[in-house]
Amino acid sequence: MKHFVLIAALLTLGAPGVAQAQYGADLRSSFGAGRGDQDDARAAVRAGRQAPLSQVLSAIAQRTPGRHLNTTQGTHGGRPAYFVQWQTPDGKVIIFIADAESGSIIGRQGG
């Protein structure tokens, strides 16, 4: 009986961690953080279907002083897009939206 109670307690304590780990994996994949996404992006750049991220970062740096924090990929208006987090010298964070095919900046949020 003691073994049964111990096993039940361990399973109950372990379940929230399993749920959180699964939730975290789902959350990361929804923001494009999967390893396959990077490989797909590199292949698209090599094939000429997508602008290199370095081109987008250069365009942002020319118009807004600051530093690159993070980039994710997704869609904007039905088109593939880069979502670039950029921090200005005064600490504000701006999200630049760039068309992934042309590399042009098509929007921004924050700042």
What are the boundaries of each domain within the chain?
50-110
pTM score of the predicted model: 0.66
Q: Please state, in angstroms and rounded to a whole number, the distance separating the CA atoms of residues 17 and 62.
A: 45
Residue 41, Cβ neighbours under 10 Å: how many?
20
- Token pair of 7, please? 């096993």
pLDDT tens over the chain, length 111 residues: 554 444 544 444 444 443 334 434 333 444 445 556 778 888 888 998 999 999 999 999 999 999 999 999 999 999 999 999 999 999 999 999 999 999 999 999 997
Q: Please state, in angstroms and rounded to a whole number, the distance separating the CA atoms of residues 106 and 69.
A: 19
What SS3 state is found at 72?
strand
Q: Please state, in angstroms and rounded to a whole number, the distance separating the CA atoms of residues 97 and 72.
A: 10
50-110 — its CATH code?
3.10.450.40
